Structure 1
Amino acid sequence: MTRASAPPLLLQLQSADSSSAQAAALRSLKNETIGHDQRKESWIRWGIIPVLANILAARQPSGKGPASAEHSGGSRLRYPTSSEDEACLQAVIILGSLAQGTDARAGGAAFLSPIFSSGILSALLSILSAPECPSFFVCPILRTLNNIADRLPLQSSAKDTRLADLLFSNDHIACLAHILSQDYGNHHNQAAIELAASLVGKLCTEETHKAVLAECGVLDALAVKVASFIVAQGFVLPGAEAHVQESGALGSLPTPAPAGAKLAPILRAITVIIEHSKWRAEHFLSSPGILTVFPKQLPEFAPTDIKKGPWGSTYLSGSAVPRHAGASPLEHLLPSVPLAQNKSPANTPNFPPLGHQGTTHHRRHSQSISTPMSVYDTPTSEDEENPIVPWLLYILRTESGMVRLMAARLVTVLFRLGLTKKRRVSMLCYVLIPILIRMLDKDYEVTGDDGVQYGGLIPSSERLREEAPFVLATLVIDDFELQRHAADGNAIKRLSQLLKETYNPVQEAIRPMWHAEGEDSASSPPESLPAECRLGSPGFSPIHCHVMRYRENILKALAALVPFKDEYRKAVCENGVVPYIIDSLKPCSDDQLADTTSPKNTATHGNPTPTLLAACGAARMLTRSVSVLRTSMIDAGVATPLFVLIKHPDIEVQIAATQVICNLALDFSPMKEAIISADILPTLCEHAHSPSTKLRIESLWALKHVAYNSTNDVKVRIIEGLGPGYIRQIITQDPITALAKRGLDEDMENNGGVGMGRANSAREQVDLLNPMETAGHDEDLKMADTMPPSKMSLDMFLPDATRRRKLALHGNLDQTTQARQDDIAVQEQTFDLLRNIICGPGASEMIEHLFKTLGQDLILDALADKLRPRSIQLPHRREASGHRALSVPTEILVSVTFVMIHLAAGLPWHRQLLVSHRDLLRYLMGYFNHSHRDVRTNCVWVVINLTYKDDASEEEGCRERAFRLRAMGVMDRLASLGDDPDLDVRERTRTAQDLVNSLTHA
């Protein structure tokens, strides 16, 4: 077949002999397509996208490059003055209309495929990034990009970062900084700023993109926009004008934001950039815009404390005490609230820790003081807070709609990152949580419609209700006090009802594409057309995506409310929501993904990947309860969908499902036998070899639980499934050497040793290594360059060298720290697995099996190597002081000493192997006074097991080992533990002393 005859208008476009004729044809095409949805598909198939791409490419300047700070005079033009610019502008508008697609309810996702295939977006961004880009191009291009960004999630459940990769590339990202750095001078600038901020809020999901947006000046430019609103509202701190010329400030107060300016897109953009990174958040708080309106308050001294020297210089008297300037005046605008009490959960979770340490979950608690009410908290040097926090709290109390929600989200992120007062939790309990819970109501009133942000696909009211549970989840995730207030506010019941409602069938009539009779009868089949002339999949409807995101966020909120208290987990079950959580674990089938023209949100339709991840999180929290696991979760059939998800194509789903299976595999769980009988062990062993470190860790964790108290044949299957070679490789690698290869020299310069955090029993990372907490590079904390007075230009939004270096350094350290955690966790879980393999019934047989399959000497040498003291030569230091001692990670010490405990509990010849090894016990002697109680306890237990006699036939062997231990100095080590602060350590120590003394003094 041949392509259908092209319409005369297309031929006119292709054969236009002048730009004015081309512009006229494009105006006709615009009038024909805009508002006439049924014609857009035909124009795509006729090849209009390549034609538009050629027109836009012709407008590109010869020299590519990011936008400069100062545009030429032509850039200030509001309307095209040449036919070439007019033609280009019409092409941009037509492209925006095509990106919008057909009926708004259908979403227009099908039109994205030809747009991306054509390369037209690169031409579009090159125009926007050109130094001489006229201003009349800016808003149409930004609207087109926003139309595309709005519809990217409608294509499929997979994340699409193609537009973000283009926009946030080195070639184009500076144009965003330039647009956002403009003053709110007129309506055009205002619209451009809000459109650019909306793009950042929609597209910035990747860590690499967030980092580059902070480094290139976008975050600082957004901070100035926030400062403009603070100026307009009259909240600049008193006396700030006197500091505008100081280093790090703007040189003058920002221009006030106009009355019609939208704050919500600015707050959203800032939030998505700084979330999950304390360094980026601090970069925002230290930006020139924030420092200008909220200058840092320095401690003051009483006049009597300031003395004058003989040469006119001043000095402080010996009794001078600094007086802090006091709380921010903004605190007086907030209500007085009762101070939250520092209460622990009424009953500790009866779910045993997933690890052996019994690590407590790190969470922030408010501190109670004697006064029952607090108007505001006076910060101390250890409890400082930027005034933007009370300003955000004021905004969320006085504003409504999306501005209120975005203020809540930003203050939540700052709270989560530890950048608010420790006692700010009281205000969050009594002010923020009730607002978020109120937003869950169907009758919650949302004023105004923010079409800039959502492209008209769903109302702002629906988007607000969709996002409110997510903000609530982020707020309460690891704080019991906040969870208690949310639960007392009936949040669990409301969220449970909302989750059920997401399964009510959504009726949405989508208007089918209309074709004139015979219009396409002679056209080529789609497969024969070029990619830029073929429509893609129709995609999901906007309402379907909304319901799925709503369900996802509700599941996150439920999971965040119940990690610590069985009472809350039981409340979820009593509200009848467990079957709906199980339904949320079922993925979409391939045939349902192929037909996405109408909402499919019932239990039979399944769920996209993000919803599956959220459902796994909720199931994991609920299965932490013994009673819930044994009743509601088993009755609802939690295991069946998890056994499917563990083999899901998406590796993140595999990880999330394995985390739930970790809980199901515990010894008290009735699901443990189901896991073994369902032949899940081969899958877990296969995943333990995954390139994904997270999946390896979770799989080893689950296998560790399966191995505990299982029969020896199950343990042998695990060893064979993992492979002896794999286990040897893991236990013999040196994680400390790996640290040096990962750039340990940088932290060593800033720390005396290496400290490692670990994952807690709920598998969240807590107490992560923070190498820069005690950094001594003060010069990096200072603003090196003074900003030019009163003159606003793009250059001031590029962070100065020291701020940029600090930001990049911290970003690298965050990645390095996580990599270390992963390396250590894999080895920790492998040693824990070996520990569970050689304990319980048949332990002696399994010790011998391990010695045979892995190698007796290899195992003992590996244990000794983990206990070996080590140091590292710091770069550029050749003298003796250039060596720095390295601390073996506590997690590894605990795991290794547990293995030694069980070897020492084996047969007599197993015990003799430990004593006979040239290094093992000698190295162990260095850890009896370790700072961690579990390490101290385990050292003592090794002594007990080596000297404890089960019967009279073992007395001679025990006596020989006792003399060997005494010769190594074990009695001195034990004597040093006699006054140990831990009762268990003291009791075990007395037992060990009695055993050694009875054997050596007999």
Structure 2
Amino acid sequence: MTRAATPPILLQLQNPDSLSTQAAALRSLKNETIGHEQRKEAWIRWGILPILAQVLSTRQSSPGKTAASELNGPASRDPPSPTTDADKACLQAIIILGSLAQGGAAFLSPIFASGTLSILLTILSAPDCPRFFVLPILRTLNNVADRLPLQSQQQGRKDTRLADLLFSTDHVGALSRIIAQDYTSHQDVAAIELAAALVGKLCTEEVHKAILADCGVLDALAVKLASFIVAQGFVLPGAEAHVQGPGALGALPPPAPPSARLAPILRAVTVIVEHSKWRAEHFLSSPAIRTVFPKQVPEFAPADVKRGPWGSTYLSGSAVPRQTGANPLEYFLPPVPLSPGKPSVSVANFPPLGPQASHRRHSHSFPSPFSLLDPPGTADDEENAVIPWLLYVLRAEGGMARLMAARLVTVLFRLSLTRKHRVAMLCYLVIPILLRMLDKDYAVLDDAEGCPDGGLIPPGDRLREEAPAVLATLVIDDQELQKHAVEGGAIKRLSQLLKETYNPLHENAQPMWSADGSSDGGDDDDPDTRPPDCRLGAQGFSPRHCHVMRYRENILKALAALVPFKDEYRKAVCENGVVPYIIDSLKPCPRDPPADTANPKNTAVDGNPTPTLLAACGAARMLTRSVSVLRTSLIDAGVAPPLFVLIQHPDIDVQIAATSVICNLALDFSPMKEAIISAEILPVLCEHAHSTNTKLRIESLWALKHVACNSTNDVKIKIVESLGSGWIKHIITQDPTAALAQRGIDEEGDNGTGTGMSRANSAGEQVDLLNPVDPSPERDDDLKMADTMPPSKMSLEMFLPDATRRRRLALHGDLDQSTQARQDDIAVQEQTFDLIRNLICGPGASEMIDHLFREIGQDVLLDALTDKLRPRAIALPPRRDTAAPPQRALQVPTEILVSVTYVIIHLAAGLPWHRQLLVSHRDLLRHLVGYFNHNHRDVRINCVWVVINLTYEDDASDRDGCRERASTLRSMGVMDRLASLEDDPDLDVRERTKTAQHLVKSMVS
């Protein structure tokens, strides 16, 4: 094969005579490559990317300039197009790079290898970046973001390289600056929407979401959302009087133009706040939201408001607030019927008849003004007006804006930031709309900019793809919402859609031209010898294939969310014939990617990517909760074999999900239990129990606990040997409150005193953990935005959270992480004790007790049980006004107490000498006596069962031992403890107490 002649354009670019020649050559190259995928590949091989990187790197920031502090200020006077040859060449290079990214996933690898994206972000982040560079750079970044899923379809982890660059401290400020600018021109509108689209596409990691909330991007998005509220005429009456108040913007945001799209803004806000109540509250308390939706307070009659000697106002003793009615936005929502079994719906859902019920959209006659007095309302009355506004948008808008409004209101509902009566509205307003979106004839306007993939698939398909995920988030863990969705035909529709995702795909894409088989553009070099920025990467998958996989994933999530509580719903899923399709969804993609990924067959053999596997495991887990389904449909469909493969999947999240399903398959009534034992899954579970991933350890121990229940002793011994006696000893001897003491966080802080606990948050500031959000009045006054600016001159610093809000956000993020880590530590120990409990119960229990005593050591095991019952305290940081550091009692986690007392119950049910070991231990029973009046009924009844087992006479030979144990218990004060349980609110505790009292009295009388 002969080497192709070097194109003249390449020679001009490699050795340009002047900048004008270089710009002209780049313009010719742009015209040659746009829309021609084969030419793009050839130019990659010829090394165009290093040349583009060199051209872009010549764009230097002007010396002596500082960061722009004003929006739409000097930058707005930039010329509409480049005037210098250097800028013209740079602009052509940006457009060419964006065109190359449109070639598909294969072009992403050389683009990342060339470092051009980092250079683009440096140009965009420069304080003197010309406006004519902003849109092309944002379009290029969006082109790359759109095609990242095509490249990482089979990968376990999402490709976060672009997100790591964009959301770094060096470049995230550019997003804040772009989003915070006003909607002054079509270019500004496009730039804001493209920047918001980048957030919606790339912000998937918690660390990135925290950065966007902390650096001001979330507050800037709130300003854009407020602009739509202003444009729609929904600013609450009287808000103008509060724009100068604490935490407000100082002026109403300018209205959004009719051409602006709401969907990208809603999506960006949603992806940042989801899964974090603190970020959601950070959004709802942003200056823009406070400005357009100030807090509504009750109004009092003038005669009730008194003025004190120093000018302060107060209420008379007979003051009664006037009837203010509901939030004014409630009057634009239709009344909904009460949900059965729910508390009565607020009057806000039933606007009064008469003149008050008639309002115009842009000139609202709201029934009540605002008062400057603080409200005495309850927490349930403090719902932000964003909620009813989103519900209005959900009903009034269409397309992606409607779906994103449903998604955001769903996220806020799941984070408990809505009123309780919203459940009825969600049932009757949101669920029917989401189900309607699943229909093929649902009309969607051509709103490609509102779609996160930039229009690679039709907007209607994208809408139907995301609707099941929103439905799943909405109904999860709420039986009332699940009931309405099922009655609306959700299971039948979703089942049919899941079947359709396995229909053959008909792609029109042509296979990518290869230079290896042609002399045009080819050469004699081995492609592997070329530099990374001169060779294409993996071809990737087609947009249609990725759409089908995401659609399948979301449908599986929705089915799983509908059936966790009702066996009839699980049976309905089986009756619709989708169990085989769920099992097929458990099969992963083959390790070797198919040769032609542009035209996939879409069969079960082709497998599923990691997100679909996780969703399929969730659906299978929900179905395994039904005994009848587990014994019939799931066995017939062969649920076990694919799970045995997934438990060793390379992705650890898949291992966790598959193990959680095996937990249900290993239950004692499950016919799959023997299959798990015979398939040699136990060594894998024991290996995963040693994993550094805490969630995998918990699920593996949970599965082993179920396997051990009522199994033969040889299986139990195998579990102990595989786990290792040293590992078991290490887990059970850990202090469940050690992590708490190290972090300096009191589990019972809500019930404690006001003692301060100072520590550093993630921002490096010392904060009081017990009083984290109560700044002094003097400091609060310093944080107010007293200066007022016209909207077109708002400072960028105004969109950064003030010190108090940033400190609160950082503190709550740290508390969330600490709490989750501690809960995981407790769960591991809880499951380990539960495993020991199941090892020493059932047939052959005495032999297993002896085996554990030999392997672990009887003193080690009994001392570990005793240590879990031992009262403990934490030393708080010393205070200036106290000589000795204060101490605070720590409560042993209830989960640990329940598990430990169960182990003691089974030890007390063993041989007489096992019982004698418990009684003769120096501290075990003495500590146990202190928990007879625990607030959890399981702990109380377990303590009573220990007394019953210790004093129950198996045969005549044990009578003397029973009397001795009963006498010891009585001397410890057990009878007084039992007497205190005679009137226990739990019937089982009262009945077992009678039995224990009878046994003790009969032995010591």
TM range, normalised to the smaller chain?
over 0.9
1:315-354 matches, within 5 Å, as 315-322=314-321, 325-342=324-341
CA distance in 2, matches of 1:143, 1:994: 81
**SS of the residue aligned with 2:889?**
strand
Could you give the per-residue CA deviations for residues 512-549 of structure 1, whole angstroms, max 9, x where no partner exists?
A: 33579621343422111100000001100000000000
Q: Is the 8 A contact 2:646 2:654 kept in 1?
A: yes
From 103, 128, 131, the counterpart of 2:127: 131
Correspondence for 2:160: 161
1:853-868 matches, within 5 Å, as 853-868=855-870
**Cα pair distance change 1:190/1:312, threshold 3 Å:** closer
Correspondence for 2:58: 58
Could you give the per-residue CA deviations for residues 134-159 of structure 1, whole angstroms, max 9, x where no partner exists?
A: 01000000000000000000002221
**SS of the residue aligned with 1:953?**
helix
Correspondence for 2:916: 912
Question: Does 1:941 pair with 2:952?
Answer: no
Question: Alpha-carbon deviation of 1:510?
Answer: 1.3
Question: Alpha-carbon deviation of 1:647?
Answer: 0.6
CA distance in 2, matches of 1:594, 1:154: 15
Q: Is the 8 A contact 2:982 2:994 kept in 1?
A: yes
**SS of the residue aligned with 1:337?**
coil
Aligned residues: 955
Give me the TM-score of the superposition, normalised by structure 2.
0.92
Correspondence for 2:362: none
**Cα pair distance change 1:54/1:691, threshold 3 Å:** same
One-letter code aligned to 1:276: H
CA distance in 2, matches of 1:788, 1:427: 41
1:423-438 matches, within 5 Å, as 423-438=421-436
CA distance in 2, matches of 1:116, 1:923: 62
1:24-63 matches, within 5 Å, as 24-61=24-61
Q: Is the 8 A contact 1:66 1:174 kept in 2?
A: no
Correspondence for 1:923: 927
**Cα pair distance change 1:325/1:524, threshold 3 Å:** farther
Q: Is the 8 A contact 1:306 1:315 kept in 2?
A: yes
Correspondence for 1:744: 745
- TM-align CA RMSD: 2.3
Question: Alpha-carbon deviation of 1:4?
Answer: 4.6
Could you give the per-residue CA deviations for residues 171-225 of structure 1, whole angstroms, max 9, x where no partner exists?
A: 0000000000000011111000000000000000000000000000000000000
Q: Is the 8 A contact 1:541 1:597 kept in 2?
A: yes
Q: Is the 8 A contact 1:339 1:373 kept in 2?
A: no
**Cα pair distance change 1:904/1:217, threshold 3 Å:** same
One-letter code aligned to 1:36: H
**Cα pair distance change 1:566/1:780, threshold 3 Å:** farther
CA distance in 1, matches of 2:619, 2:509: 33
One-letter code aligned to 1:962: A
Q: Is the 8 A contact 2:878 2:884 kept in 1?
A: no
Correspondence for 2:355: none
Question: Alpha-carbon deviation of 1:460?
Answer: 1.1
CA distance in 2, matches of 1:388, 1:592: 46
Question: Does 1:465 pair with 2:461?
Answer: no
Correspondence for 1:767: none
From 966, 979, 982, the counterpart of 1:978: 982
1:846-857 matches, within 5 Å, as 846-857=848-859
Question: Alpha-carbon deviation of 1:74?
Answer: 5.2
Question: Does 1:968 pair with 2:969?
Answer: no
Question: Alpha-carbon deviation of 1:341?
Answer: 1.7
1:128-527 matches, within 5 Å, as 128-157=124-153, 158=155, 159-309=158-308, 313-322=312-321, 325-342=324-341, 366-368=342-344, 374-375=350-351, 380-451=378-449, 453=451, 454-514=453-513, 518-527=519-528
Question: Alpha-carbon deviation of 1:451?
Answer: 3.6
**Cα pair distance change 1:946/1:647, threshold 3 Å:** same
Question: Alpha-carbon deviation of 1:827?
Answer: 0.1
1:86-97 matches, within 5 Å, as 86-97=88-99
Q: Is the 8 A contact 2:47 2:533 kept in 1?
A: yes
Could you give the per-residue CA deviations for residues 233-266 of structure 1, whole angstroms, max 9, x where no partner exists?
A: 0000010000000011110100000001000000
Q: Is the 8 A contact 2:380 2:419 kept in 1?
A: no
Provide structure 1 residue ranges, at least 5 long, that are not aligned to the other structure. Answer: 102-107, 343-365, 755-770
CA distance in 1, matches of 2:768, 2:979: 37
**Cα pair distance change 1:905/1:515, threshold 3 Å:** closer
Larger deviation: 875-884 or 650-659?
A: 875-884
**SS of the residue aligned with 1:779?**
coil
Question: Alpha-carbon deviation of 1:65?
Answer: 11
CA distance in 1, matches of 2:349, 2:61: 64
One-letter code aligned to 2:402: R
**Cα pair distance change 1:540/1:561, threshold 3 Å:** same
Question: Alpha-carbon deviation of 1:325?
Answer: 4.1
One-letter code aligned to 1:486: A
Question: Alpha-carbon deviation of 1:990?
Answer: 1.1
Could you give the per-residue CA deviations for residues 464-513 of structure 1, whole angstroms, max 9, x where no partner exists?
A: 00000000000001100000000000000000000000001111121233
Q: Is the 8 A contact 1:707 1:833 kept in 2?
A: yes
Correspondence for 1:669: 670
CA distance in 1, matches of 2:692, 2:66: 37
Could you give the per-residue CA deviations for residues 291-332 of structure 1, whole angstroms, max 9, x where no partner exists?
A: 000001234333343334466654322343455744211100
**Cα pair distance change 1:311/1:639, threshold 3 Å:** closer
CA distance in 2, matches of 1:820, 1:529: 50
One-letter code aligned to 1:804: R
One-letter code aligned to 2:397: E
CA distance in 1, matches of 2:509, 2:520: 22
1:835-914 matches, within 5 Å, as 835-877=837-879, 879=883, 882-914=886-918
Could you give the per-residue CA deviations for residues 380-410 of structure 1, whole angstroms, max 9, x where no partner exists?
A: 4434210110000000101111000000000
**SS of the residue aligned with 1:512?**
coil
CA distance in 2, matches of 1:369, 1:443: 34
CA distance in 1, matches of 2:401, 2:438: 16
Larger deviation: 536-545 or 733-742?
A: 733-742
**Cα pair distance change 1:882/1:141, threshold 3 Å:** same
Correspondence for 1:347: none
Q: Is the 8 A contact 1:510 1:598 kept in 2?
A: yes
Q: Is the 8 A contact 1:866 1:893 kept in 2?
A: yes
One-letter code aligned to 2:971: A
Question: Alpha-carbon deviation of 1:772?
Answer: 11
Larger deviation: 467-476 or 600-609?
A: 600-609
**Cα pair distance change 1:369/1:439, threshold 3 Å:** closer
CA distance in 1, matches of 2:450, 2:97: 18
CA distance in 2, matches of 1:966, 1:560: 52
CA distance in 2, matches of 1:68, 1:829: 56
Provide structure 2 residue ranges, at least 5 long, that are not aligned to the other structure. Answer: 353-366, 369-376, 755-766
**SS of the residue aligned with 2:929?**
helix
Q: Is the 8 A contact 2:648 2:655 kept in 1?
A: yes
Q: Is the 8 A contact 2:772 2:811 kept in 1?
A: no
CA distance in 1, matches of 2:350, 2:961: 67
One-letter code aligned to 2:459: S
**Cα pair distance change 1:65/1:553, threshold 3 Å:** farther
Q: Is the 8 A contact 2:866 2:923 kept in 1?
A: yes
Question: Alpha-carbon deviation of 1:981?
Answer: 0.7
Q: Is the 8 A contact 1:65 1:130 kept in 2?
A: no
**Cα pair distance change 1:780/1:427, threshold 3 Å:** farther
Question: Alpha-carbon deviation of 1:69?
Answer: 2.8
Question: Alpha-carbon deviation of 1:68?
Answer: 3.6
1:51-130 matches, within 5 Å, as 51-61=51-61, 68-70=68-70, 73=74, 76-77=77-78, 78-101=80-103, 108-130=104-126
CA distance in 2, matches of 1:972, 1:891: 26
**SS of the residue aligned with 2:519?**
coil
1:437-836 matches, within 5 Å, as 437-451=435-449, 453=451, 454-514=453-513, 518-593=519-594, 595-744=596-745, 752=752, 775=771, 777-779=773-775, 784-786=783-785, 788-791=787-790, 792-836=794-838
Could you give the per-residue CA deviations for residues 790-819 of structure 1, whole angstroms, max 9, x where no partner exists?
A: 341211111001100100111111111110
Question: Alpha-carbon deviation of 1:600?
Answer: 3.5
Identical residues among aligned pairs (%): 74
**Cα pair distance change 1:985/1:817, threshold 3 Å:** same
